[in-house]
Amino acid sequence: MRNLRLIPRLDVKMEWLIKGVQMEGWRKVGDPAEYAKAYADAGADELLFMDVVASLYERNSLHDIVSKVASVVFVPMTVGGGIRTVEDVSAMLACGADKVALNTAATRNPELITDVANRFGAQATVVSIEAIRDKGSWLAMTDNGRNHTGRNVIEWAKEAEERGAGELIITSIDREGLGHGYDLDLIRLVTEQVRIPIVSGGGLGTTDHLSDLIDKTQASAASVAQALHWKKLNMSDLRDTLNANDCFVRRLT
């Protein structure tokens, strides 16, 4: 039986849960803590919080939100956005995060991945890669798709693994927020090149898209945002899809 985790993604700006299309045109959704608890209670396996303006302002403002959610939610939480140092990681873990996602700072200083993994373990060290298609390949971006890193996604994924990352989040900017399905070619290529778990992000809009991810890739987890936030799907729909595809489904307490 396959184990594919369901991970609602909560993009946060200041105190608001927001959602955009291709990481632009953000719209307010609501209170991130309330949505996080609702998703966890409904069967989410993990939660993913991203401060979408943290790198721009060189700080992460999620400490209070993460602390609040950690007091009432008992599923693992990954937190990213503006994490620049080992000290930033330590502070976020102290608030209740289980894993920290590195992106912009890691592309500028890849040794940060190794430093974090050595200090906190690979299980707490996640590298988030924002991918955009470019002439049959994929480029790694930062700052919610605003800036090119000059890195090829596949090569960067392999380097991140070699440097100690225990998991990768691969988000397709081309698909993100559109609800047209994941970039299965991208996810297939990455999972063929690395051995660590891959979280697929960007594009889930129907339960068929989740079935395709299960059937056509070796992804370890599915990140879901707009379909849940705008109530096009609910956690029960996604859990039923896992059942139908012979995947493990966490029992609700």
Q: Which residues are catalytic?
A: 11, 130
DSSP code, position 136: T
In this structure, are strands 16-21 and 24-30 parallel, antiparallel, or unpaired? antiparallel
Residue 147 pairs in a beta bridge with: 142
Cα–Cα distance, 213 to 4 (Å, whole number):
10
Q: Give the SS3 label for residue 192.
A: helix
172 touches 201 (CB < 8 A): yes
Q: Give the SS3 label for residue 161.
A: helix
Determine the angle formed by the axes of helices 63-70 and 32-41, rounding to 10 degrees: 30
Cα–Cα distance, 86 to 170 (Å, whole number):
22
| Cβ-based burial of 72 (10 A; exposed 0-12, middle 13-18, buried ≥19) | exposed
Cα–Cα distance, 34 to 11 (Å, whole number):
13
Cα–Cα distance, 10 to 50 (Å, whole number):
6
203 touches 179 (CB < 8 A): yes
Nearest to 211 by CA among 185, 247, 235: 247
DSSP code, position 250: P
